[in-house]
A = this chain, B = another copy of it.
Amino acid sequence: MGRPREFDLDEALESAMQVFWARGYEGASLTDLTGAMGITKTSMYAAFGNKEQLFRKAVERYGEGPASYATSALAEPTARAVAEAFLRGSARTTTLPGSPSGCLTVQGALATSAGSRPAHDMLVCWRNDVGVRLEERFQRAVADGDLPPDADPRRLARYIMTVGFGIAVQAANGLDRDDLDDIADTAMRTWPL
């Protein structure tokens, strides 16, 4: 009931995500955001609450879209395939043709002023969550005999996460997908099996 919304929520959120991705949380002003979204500040506030909640939604969308490789990689049959899919996914997503270089959840709010702590903390949690799920997957691999019994799931997960983060910075630094794939290959040479 009431007047129908004249813009598409999904499209607007997609545009906001792209702006946050390119400029980071603090670097993305409401003018930038609403300009890209094609709506006014009023409409944004009515639809999303405020800048922080818009960011949260954008990060959720990022996790379900560009960064969905982090979840789908867990479904690979072996731990090695999981790790490889994870690194290749990060190489791919940080160099998507129509999107900014790098990873939204890495460059979105690494260092910020005090006012942006919520956004910063939220990304810390997001990144740690991914690491924990990777660790749990590797724990299962040890239990299944897929990884040797002396393998350390936490250490392996942290290593893969670290290389993933590094790939994101390298992408922001201008490396292309082939370069990043090379890095992923090199990183996989440590793999126990």
Distance A116 CA – B32 CA, assembled complex (angstroms): 14
Contact A127 B173 (CB under 8 A): yes
Contact A173 B124 (CB under 8 A): yes
A60 proximity list for chain B (CB < 8 A):
none
**Chain A interfacial residues counted at CB < 8 A:** 48
A12 proximity list for chain B (CB < 8 A):
none
How far in angstroms is the closest Cβ of chain B from A76?
Answer: 20
The proximity string for A residues 72-87 relative to B, scoring 1 for CB distances below 8 Å and 0 otherwise, is: 0000000000000000
List residues of chain A with CB under 8 Å of any chain B CB.
Answer: 21-24, 26-29, 32, 100, 102, 106-108, 110-114, 116, 124, 127-128, 155-156, 158-159, 161-170, 172-175, 179, 182-183, 186-187, 189-190
